[in-house]
Structure 1
């Protein structure tokens, strides 16, 4: 069992990454849910602020807690793309077409990269199923935003819905990772100190 854990691309404390990522997604989801303003400018502001903070925080945590260089580089790509999309959202004046285009391009790139990371790590880590699911959710968001009729209320509402689903899924997945590794770590007694 120790060799299977050593082969995993993430470190034992990795469970913190999906929990933090999920909590960060729930904040803008709540903002969108409780706001009556679903304009494109509001959607861009909320998406941009979330993307900048999430990209920086989750990217830094992933860089620290993912040991496999290949998987770590994929999550670095996602962090950079997410921060760049956030900066574009808050600095470039744009309406509904820009919101739909920016979110769909961001979701297509980051969704595919995370899906690929999950497929690449499948069988080596329990986190792979969460990467596959989160990548799938995000790629699905890209398709929905590409096919969406131009309606700001629907677009911003769907962005909020995506963030709720992603946030809840990642928090549950993160704690599941923590609880799945806890008995093995407690039994060996040595893994907790490393």
Structure 2
């Protein structure tokens, strides 16, 4: 019982993680949208930068704010996968369309599944569960689309940009919803409940 108030206080700060991810998604979305060059090289650089920075944010932010040890571990693995695959994209940014499609597909499959699984596990226990399931499903769908889509650089890079837009907007809504759910009145109520215990 002693650890419960500390975990609750830490989890109230979790809203910063989706907001940070939203910013990191909307930047490459803007770069892709307003750039006439939809080459695989642009796709690899935009994806790589997002995957590395988002991976670091997910791993560190989730580790510091989530109370559930398994959820922390799953998001740590998700973050590490993002950093590794993003670093590969940046290191081999001239790898061509096939390499771009392969990396995004692998990243989407791994991170999408992990986030979807985290949300399914946390259903009924965490306010973030629905958002995790939605974002995980969206990312897994991106992986499937990249696997079945006929190879075309403009379409594929444009699709990645569209994914970043949808992800960024959804994360902003989810993050602000979490922030507003942890109002001072809610925090006072939690504090009073812990005092009674």
Equivalent residues, number:
187
SS at match of 2:67: coil
**2:113–2:140 Cα contact (<8 Å) kept:** yes
Aligned residue runs from structure 1 range 167-186, under 5 A: 167-182=168-183, 183-186=185-188
Partner of 1:74: 74
SS at match of 2:15: helix
Partner of 1:29: 29
Q: TM-score, normalised by structure 1?
A: 0.91
Cα offset, 1:49, TM superposition: 1.1
Cα offset, 1:57, TM superposition: 2.3
Instruction: Give the stretch that moved more between structures: 58-67 or 113-122.
Output: 58-67
**1:41–1:95 Cα contact (<8 Å) kept:** yes
Cα offset, 1:181, TM superposition: 2.0
Pick closer, same or farther for the CA change 1:104–1:13 going to 2, 3 Å: same
Partner of 2:86: 86
Residues of 2 paired with 1:155 and 1:86: CA distance? 17
Partner of 1:64: 64
Q: TM-score, normalised by structure 2?
A: 0.89
Residues of 1 paired with 2:77 and 2:190: CA distance? 35
- Runs of 4+ in structure 1 deviating by more than 6 angstroms, as ranges, are 4-8
**2:7–2:67 Cα contact (<8 Å) kept:** no
RMSD between superposed Cα atoms in Å: 2.0
Partner of 2:40: 40
Q: Deviations over 1:56-90 (max 9, x none)?
A: 12321111111211000000011000001111101
Partner of 2:106: 105
